[in-house]
Structure 1
């Protein structure tokens, strides 16, 4: 009896321990979102959870949180650090050493602390991983499925090795038996590039039955300095290069280069030639000819504008964030000398443009270029599978980038409308379409046969067997939902949707909408993401960027509600109207140990102060300004000792909508490393609404600080402005001199050389003495074995790779990345 009792006692103790462990895990989780398969797609940790995970590697965190078995492995695919200071360690899932296609998970950390995890994890058990079909037989099944007349390795014999497919054993979902949730099977994966007719796709052949279980298209169809008279964007200045006999469309100033070639109405890339101009003035008389040679200029400057957009707006160096060459081939025809190729595509390596025929003009318009290279960006980030909902969002994201790049180029690069039709941000392919207004409309999807509401009118049924015949499960149709969500988020809209629910969304502008969307795509989305998961990830992206409960989070949520995905921000039903009293997002500096705002003066507002704990509510202080008047403002920083570089931003909510992100509301922006009084002048627009509104003054040591949220060092202050429509009110003149606010070069930590092999020299602002140095790897783990002497850090003992160094002058800590070679 004692043995029996002992066994029962042990069982009870084991159950109690398991229950206690489960309760502890639950107590450490702030939010957990489950997918349709009941596996977590997003887990956010609270303070206790973050503390419990400290010291664990990313793989250990996933093994613990996803309850991995010995058969499951998570292998690091890449590590990225974003502009918010987050490190995203991205893992690929393997089962018994075999890659599980489209199953990826990411550990999101900041300052070495894990904040959250997200992704798609496949729970697998008992799967037979020994193939019953060899690679050669599987390839013959794949080629029979594609059924092309000729393949690229036959057409381009010189580059046969580049195009010839080789097999890889993977685990993938059999998409023949379920639109999204077919069974997992062992399969041979081939990259098959066909020349006639053109196609390129990953073809998955069941390694036991020989059946093709999935086709994931790689080609996603979209139905010196010179000047070029382009076909669609007017005469553009552009960078190119010199060659024998003149100038050609190649340049090296952007990433590793941008190159544009002439296929001469053939389907051969290897026989393509350069366009060459003798004087680098590519005139209309020379190139606006029957052969449409002027479209070469559109392809070239379109690639340049696309590169510039990703670099300047999102801080991304080409589509792969590593400066990849962007190659474009114009005058392509899948049948050499044929009637004209009615398409453009990205094939994973290059851009290809046809000259069109009965339906299209040459397909080199700017938004088409931005759309197609957008597929390249998606491939290098979320890599959304090109079928059903994930494929629709793949297409939708490319439309979003096409529209955003067109708007950016018109507003910032001087692009004009030079073709038969004018450019229109919210129409896709408007300049190339001969038969209707455009290919797609983001502002009114239903006007061109796309759904504006999830599973509403014009929604194409998802397919249990995605193929070109059913548009891979409606990818070019159902993308309308994501397109319309983006339009509503950027521009704003009120109305009643197809579900009978009323909504009202305040537009956040293209800039904020684009930043939220790209963070959703690059940080959180995985290959198999659905619309429901996109909603979760977009809300999280907006929260990361602008703070919980911010105007952007509300707009993101309600824009999804407007298109039929999820509840409104108020939790369901009609979106709650804004309160009578405008509530603004919170703003606060975390530390004032070394700098703070000590003067703000504008008109009758004249406040000197010490430290205010990071934020001062001065809305009880006010001054009047007239619409159309010029105003000079004075301000200064206080410092404990060292005068660090501080970034000043002043926002005024001119339209009184409760946010500071509308055009023209950032009225002052600049930097200075001075403790003296600074000045800046701005003009109140004549369109400003009369009455009281808020002016927000921010001083931060970080140039990326925006109008909402928290930041590390510095302060923010709010005041009231009374806007009138009368004559200009002269500002009060400050006694003494004030230095106009400029844009100082930041005084920060300098490292050289970087990359380094054995030693790093460290130079702090003002040549201050280094008091402390810490080196961490990409996981946030602290490195040992480095020594500092006379400002030089010995790193000879470190392994090759990327590191973060934190250096203190006894007051502030400066962070920089370096590479050990």
Structure 2
């Protein structure tokens, strides 16, 4: 029995988790202990959007004690309140409690706080929290007509072709070129599945009715996403006997591969009884008279079908996850898609008709708040360059797209497809997609993405081992060092959603080194040496990092660095070699500690003078780092033996007050990194 629904919006990146009833934990009248909050560890902020972390390992803090002092510790005002929205325990016995931040009883979008506790003691806290909000609030969201008119104007799409999700009034956060912007906004996701296909979450100011931010909810493997099929020969797979023939459907795994030639034509879409997203006109099957699909015309869809079956098996058997979302949700694949349907009127460089050099994972929500998912793959046809590309049906491509859906359903709101969080999203898709390839075809697996998809040098789209070697003709070179060569601007409105397909190279190189090891010198001049853990251990650390509650929607690489260390500790312990290699691999890509200061080099005297440290000697455990450079910077502190004694933290411009209570008397070295280089400053603590 087919159940038709109205597809309203893609909800991949909207924060829409909760439990009923909500439990109000704090109010503005909550009594705060004036003394205990001051003894809690420092909050380390990592971005303008309020992302932060705090390590409680060396503190004996109960979860109840932290709850009592949470508002004071965070620096809340009277209008800041919190609600518990989710509590769970992971497979290692670590309890996670997630709180949502409200300002004047309106949800602050993406502002969540996760407390991790073991045996009743807090071990780590992370999340997002914007302090000192001071704006007028509009409680009621804009009307459906107002929203459609605004979105129709910016998307250049007729309002009658736009379907909206339920709207919500929120406090929105946007990291613009000029800094953080806070607005009282209506959050809504809008989509069009007729003629022109798009799916975005919009934040529209409730007073001006102007769009203040928008996020795409269609995940492309690359833009222009030139991924071509490479065949893996004959593979064991599951098909379905149907109406006297066979079709590419696996009823157990809930995977169905269909002909997408007319995807996007008028008529809309719906869900069948099993949860597959199907055109209103019905599915178009690939069929065979026998169970063995051997025809040339079905090789590409067969490979897609096999790839998604193997992705499903990988998550089930290796990572104990039932389908991409953990709930056994069905997935439909469409091959031979004309990607010009994803164009929006007026966009720069629209995709020409017949262009199929792309692969996309798509999540749409329904008007009732549910979610539906499907994936689309191109045939490699590029009218302007015939023969340049092959079908986009490789296992790493399929695994990449499937893993985008895993990221979106990671339990803490996914990773916003913008800036650094978008690059991390792309990197996780590459990391897990490559892990699926090594799982499914270990004898043929490799560390390039999309090999065989393009018929020009170097023959692949990305390299996890050597990110800088991507094809120059596609401008696909990636950085292998944070803020290093090829790093792109991460501000909202910058190219490629803030460099999501480019800056992912940093995370990719980290995972490669963590898996197989390597030695060298990065763009900062830092020498590194990493002992590989095997891809099997590395993928478990990566997956725990993604799904362990350590990452929020606007996570930065600094958050990812700290989250992966927490994941390694949870899996292997604080003194483990696994933790050390996680740190070594991050140091190799420009973040954290290489367990040695030998690689820190001095830059020109004039540059070094832009950053000063005083007073020196340090008395009473307090000193100032003055960052008078034009660059963002980070710092960490080592003792004279090279041991890291203060983890990586962000420096603001100008004066930064640093407290080091508890440091023993002696000489320490501060490593300050900025603009792809580093300087060291000696201080004496008295």
Identify whether the pair has TM-score above 0.5, normalized to the shorter chain. Answer: yes
8 Å contact kept, 2:47–2:556 = no
The DSSP-based 3-state class of the residue aligned with 1:450 is: coil
Does residue 24 (structure 1) correspond to residue 21 (structure 2)? The answer is: no
8 Å contact kept, 2:260–2:334 = yes
Give the Cα–Cα distance (whole angstroms) in 1 for the partners of residues 49 and 252 of structure 2.
48
Does residue 562 (structure 1) correspond to residue 582 (structure 2)? The answer is: no
Aligned pairs for 1:167-566 (under 5 A) are 167-178=167-178, 181-195=179-193, 196-223=195-222, 232-254=231-253, 257-268=254-265, 269-275=279-285, 277=287, 279-284=289-294, 287-289=295-297, 293-334=298-339, 338-348=353-363, 349-358=373-382, 359-381=388-410, 382=412, 383-411=414-442, 424-436=445-457, 437-448=459-470, 449-466=477-494, 470-523=495-548, 524-566=550-592
Give the Cα–Cα distance (whole angstroms) in 2 for the partners of residues 21 and 493 of structure 1.
50
The DSSP-based 3-state class of the residue aligned with 1:465 is: coil
Larger radius of gyration: 1
TM-score calculated relative to the size of structure 2: 0.69
Distance 1:281 1:135, change over 3 A: closer
- Which among 85, 90, 101 is matched to residue 109 of structure 2? 101
Partner of 2:654: none
Distance 1:45 1:426, change over 3 A: same
Give the Cα–Cα distance (whole angstroms) in 2 for the partners of residues 91 and 283 of structure 1.
51
Aligned pairs for 1:393-792 (under 5 A) are 393-411=424-442, 424-436=445-457, 437-448=459-470, 449-466=477-494, 470-523=495-548, 524-570=550-596, 573=599
Give the Cα–Cα distance (whole angstroms) in 1 for the partners of residues 78 and 85 of structure 2.
20
The DSSP-based 3-state class of the residue aligned with 1:350 is: strand
Give the Cα–Cα distance (whole angstroms) in 1 for the partners of residues 327 and 446 of structure 2.
28
Give the C-alpha shift of residue 74 in structure 1: 3.0
Give the C-alpha shift of residue 72 in structure 1: 3.0
Give the Cα–Cα distance (whole angstroms) in 2 for the partners of residues 235 and 342 of structure 1.
24
Give the Cα–Cα distance (whole angstroms) in 2 for the partners of residues 389 and 552 of structure 1.
25
The DSSP-based 3-state class of the residue aligned with 1:327 is: strand
Give the Cα–Cα distance (whole angstroms) in 1 for the partners of residues 264 and 84 of structure 2.
38
The DSSP-based 3-state class of the residue aligned with 2:328 is: coil
The DSSP-based 3-state class of the residue aligned with 2:261 is: strand
Partner of 1:35: 46
8 Å contact kept, 1:173–1:213 = no
8 Å contact kept, 1:132–1:208 = no
Distance 1:38 1:186, change over 3 A: closer
Deviations 1:580-609, CA, capped at 9 Å, x for gaps: xxxxxxxxxxxxxxxxxxxxxxxxxxxxxx
Give the Cα–Cα distance (whole angstroms) in 1 for the partners of residues 598 and 189 of structure 2.
45
Give the C-alpha shift of residue 366 in structure 1: 0.8
Q: Could you tell me which runs of 5 or more consecutive residues in structure 2 were left unpaired when the two chains were aligned.
A: 1-31, 223-228, 266-278, 342-351, 364-372, 383-387, 471-476, 602-686
8 Å contact kept, 1:142–1:205 = no
TM-score calculated relative to the size of structure 1: 0.58
Q: Could you tell me which runs of 5 or more consecutive residues in structure 1 were left unpaired when the two chains were aligned.
A: 1-19, 155-159, 224-229, 417-422, 576-821
Deviations 1:663-706, CA, capped at 9 Å, x for gaps: xxxxxxxxxxxxxxxxxxxxxxxxxxxxxxxxxxxxxxxxxxxx
Distance 1:375 1:132, change over 3 A: closer
8 Å contact kept, 1:261–1:330 = yes
Give the C-alpha shift of residue 37 in structure 1: 5.6
Give the Cα–Cα distance (whole angstroms) in 1 for the partners of residues 183 and 77 of structure 2.
19
Deviations 1:53-106, CA, capped at 9 Å, x for gaps: 35x7x9667546435555334334434432212232333333233222222221
Distance 1:22 1:361, change over 3 A: farther
Deviations 1:198-230, CA, capped at 9 Å, x for gaps: 43221222222222221211112112xxxxxx9
Distance 1:408 1:212, change over 3 A: same
Let me know the Cα RMSD of the aligned residues. 3.1
Give the C-alpha shift of residue 536 in structure 1: 1.3
Alignment: residue pair count: 516
Partner of 1:738: none
Distance 1:193 1:571, change over 3 A: farther
The DSSP-based 3-state class of the residue aligned with 2:180 is: coil
Give the C-alpha shift of residue 127 in structure 1: 2.2
Give the Cα–Cα distance (whole angstroms) in 1 for the partners of residues 468 and 262 of structure 2.
36
Distance 1:129 1:208, change over 3 A: same
Give the Cα–Cα distance (whole angstroms) in 2 for the partners of residues 299 and 316 of structure 1.
20
Partner of 2:146: 137
Give the Cα–Cα distance (whole angstroms) in 2 for the partners of residues 397 and 572 of structure 1.
31
Give the Cα–Cα distance (whole angstroms) in 2 for the partners of residues 36 and 450 of structure 1.
22
